[in-house]
Copies of this chain bind each other. A is one copy, B any other.
C-alpha cells in the first residue's frame, strides 16, 4: 500500500532526505553528501542507493519530490546553482531508477514556501508568499495552493526588485539598489558600514561584525544597529506591500537565517507594512517561518500530494 512520500532538498554540498506519511508527518530525515563530479551524474544514483537501503520498501512509496536551486521551467532544471546540472530532466533520469511516474521537481525557494504552507507557518492558507532572508534574499509565491514558477522560472525572485532608486548599493546580480542589497546578511553589513561613515550614530560594534551581531546589538539599544535594522525592516515591509498588491496573499512568511532574530524583527516589518499598506490588504498576516531548514523537504514532499 502506498503510504509514504520522499522529499529531497538538493544543495551544493549535501542532500536532505525526508520520509513522510501521507498526512504530512515527517517520519525520519537524514543527509547525504552531494557528489558534484562528472556533471552530477552520481547525485540521483546516490539518492536511490540511500533510500533503497531503508526499511520502508520503495513499492510502498507514493511519489518523490525534489527541491533544486536554480530556475526550473516545465520540470527542466535550466541551470543549477552550485550544482553542475544544465537543461537537466531530473524526472526522466530518476525514473530510470525508480520506475514511478510521480516524480516532481521545483525550485528550492518554491519548495520552501510550499513546505511552510503545507505543514508550517501558513498551514491552512491557500494564498501565501515567503521572503527568505539569508546570504541572499529569495522568495516564493503560492496561489490557490500551487506555487507560481513564471515564464522564465523567476516568479518570486523578489530579492532583485529595485527598492533603492538613488545611490543604491551594487548587487551581486549586476544591478543596483536591489532588495538583496539592503535586506540580506551581506546587505545588512554593507549598510552598517555605509551608515557608520555617513551618520553620527554611536555603536559598540567593532570590526568583523556579522548581521547577527548587528541584530543582537539593536535589541540592546545600539543606536547605529537600530537604525540599520529599521531600514532593513522598512524595505522588507515594502516588499510585503508589493506582494500584497500583486498576488495579494493571506499570509507572508519571513524565513532564512536573518529571520532567526525573531519577533523583534517581524514586529518592525509589520509596523512598516501597516504604514504603507493599501486599505483593503491591511489584514495581510506576516509571520516567522516555522520549519527552519526542513521547509525544503516538507515542500518537496508536498509536490506529490498537491499535484
- A binding-site residues for B, Cβ under 8 Å: 71, 127, 141, 143, 148-158, 160-162, 165, 173-175, 238, 241-250, 276, 278-281, 283-284
- Given A148-B143, A162-B238, do A247 and B155 touch, yes or no (CB 8 Å)? yes
**CB-based contact B276/A175 at 8 Å:** yes
Residues of B within 8 A of A278 (CB): 154, 157, 160, 173, 175
- Residue from the list B158, B174, B242, B279 in contact with A161, Cβ < 8 A: B242
- Of A71, A149, A152, A241, chain B has the most CB atoms within 10 Å of the CB of A152
C-alpha gap A124/B152 in the complex (Å): 16
**CB-based contact A280/B175 at 8 Å:** no
- Given A161-B241, A278-B173, A281-B154, do A246 and B247 touch, yes or no (CB 8 Å)? yes
A145 to chain B, nearest CB (A): 13
**CB-based contact A248/B151 at 8 Å:** yes
**CB-based contact B173/A245 at 8 Å:** no
- Residue from the list B150, B153, B154, B248 in contact with A155, Cβ < 8 A: B248
| A/B interface sample: 11 pairs, CB < 8 A | A127-B151, A141-B246, A143-B143, A154-B244, A156-B246, A157-B248, A157-B280, A162-B241, A175-B278, A242-B246, A246-B246
**CB-based contact B280/A152 at 8 Å:** yes
Residues of B within 8 A of A71 (CB): 280
**CB-based contact B246/A280 at 8 Å:** no
**CB-based contact A158/B281 at 8 Å:** no
- Given A71-B280, A175-B278, do A248 and B158 touch, yes or no (CB 8 Å)? no
**CB-based contact B250/A151 at 8 Å:** yes
- Shortest 10 CB-CB contacts between residues of A and residues of B: A150-B248, A155-B248, A160-B278, A154-B248, A246-B246, A151-B250, A157-B245, A152-B280, A154-B280, A127-B151
- Of A141, A155, A174, A250, chain B has the most CB atoms within 10 Å of the CB of A155
When C-beta atoms are compared, the residue in chain B nearest to A175 turns out to be B276
